[in-house]
Amino acid sequence: MKKTTIISEEEKKRIISLHSKLLNEDIEFLTKMKTLFYALMPKRKKTVDDMIKKLEDIFNKGDKSVEDIIDDVPELNDPEVKDKISNIDLSGIKITEPSISDKEFYEKVLKGIGAPVTPQNMLFFYSWRQAEGAKATFNPFNTTKKMEKQSYWNCLKKKNGKCVGGVKNYSSKEDGITATIETLNNGRYECIVDGLKNNIGAKKIAQCSSLKTWGTGELVSKVLNGSSIKPPEISRTLVKKV
C-alpha cells in the first residue's frame, strides 16, 4: 500500500525558509536536519508540522550535536532508528563505518587533543585515514613520532647506513594513539588541531596547509570530494619493517 504525506502551503513556506537558511549554514547543521528527516519520516510517528517545529527549534538554538538531538527526541532512541542514524550519508558522501576498535582509536585521539567527538571530526579522520592508506602497525596516519617500542615501516632518513627516521610501527594501540596525539600537539599542526577543537567541518580542515607539512597534502580534500569513504582498517599486526 502506497503511503502519502500531505503538506500544507504554510508548511511548504516554512520548509523553503529553512532550506534558505541552510544555504548559509555549515554542514553540521545540515547533518542535524538530515538526522531528523531520515530517522522520523520512515517511522511515520511525527507529522510534517511536528518535524518542522523540531527543526526550527534546533536551528534557533544552533548549538546541539547529533548526540544531543538523540537524547532530546524519544523516537530517536528506537534501535531501528539509531541504526538508520549511524548510516546517515554526510555531505553527500556514503560512509562505510570502521570497526568499533578503529572508531575508539579516533575518538581517543580527538579527546587527547581536546577536541569533541562529532560526526564532522570523525568524518575528517575517516577521510584522512583513507588518504594516507597507512599499513604501518597501529599508525593510521603514518606518523614518524619516536616511541620506546617501535620499528620502522619505511626509512626516510639514514645516518651511517642506519635508519634514523621514517614511518613507525608501534607495538600497541595505546602507543599509536599517544604517538598520534603528541605529533598533532607538537606545534606544527595548529590549523588541524584548532579546526578539530572548533568542529569547523571536515572539508574546512582539509584545506589546512598543515596537511602539506604532514605529507598528506590535498589528498584529504580529494577523498571528501569523492562519492564514498571507506577508511582502511588500522593495522594491528606487523606487516613490514625495515
Is residue 158 one of the residues assigned to a domain?
yes
Q: Quick one: 201 and 131 in the same domain?
A: yes
Q: Quick one: 172 and 61 in the same domain?
A: no
Q: What is the mean pLDDT of residues 53-82?
A: 56
Express each pLDDT in 69-106 by its tens digit.
556 555 555 665 555 444 444 545 677 888 999 999 99
Q: Quick one: 104 and 173 in the same domain?
A: yes
Is residue 238 one of the residues assigned to a domain?
no
Predicted confidence at residue 164, as pLDDT, reads 87
Residue 56 C-alpha cell reads as 526550527
pTM more than 0.85:
no
Domain carrying residue 152 = 97-229
Q: How far is residue 66's CA from residue 235's CA, in Å, rounded to a whole number? A: 30
- What is the distance between the terminal CA atoms of the chain, rounded to a whole angstrom? 63
Q: Are 180 and 101 in contact (CB under 8 A)?
A: no
Q: Quick one: 21 and 109 in the same domain?
A: no
Q: Quick one: 76 and 172 in the same domain?
A: no
Q: Quick one: 35 and 131 in the same domain?
A: no
Is residue 151 one of the residues assigned to a domain?
yes
Express each pLDDT in 120-177 by its tens digit.
899 999 999 999 998 999 999 999 999 988 999 999 889 888 988 899 999 999 999 9
Give the DSSP letter string of 198-214: TT--HHHHTT-THHHHH
Q: Quick one: 223 and 114 in the same domain?
A: yes
Boundary-marking domain end, from 88, 117, 142: 88
Is residue 134 one of the residues assigned to a domain?
yes
Boundary-marking domain end, from 88, 122, 155: 88
Is residue 234 one of the residues assigned to a domain?
no
Q: Quick one: 74 and 151 in the same domain?
A: no
Q: Quick one: 20 and 125 in the same domain?
A: no
Is residue 236 one of the residues assigned to a domain?
no
Is residue 3 one of the residues assigned to a domain?
no
Q: Quick one: 117 and 142 in the same domain?
A: yes
Q: Quick one: 134 and 202 in the same domain?
A: yes
What phi and psi, each to the nearest 5 degrees, are found at residue 67?
-65, -40
Is residue 240 one of the residues assigned to a domain?
no
Boundary-marking domain end, from 88, 107, 133: 88
Predicted confidence at residue 89, as pLDDT, reads 45
Q: Quick one: 71 and 124 in the same domain?
A: no
* Number of independent structural domains in the chain: 2
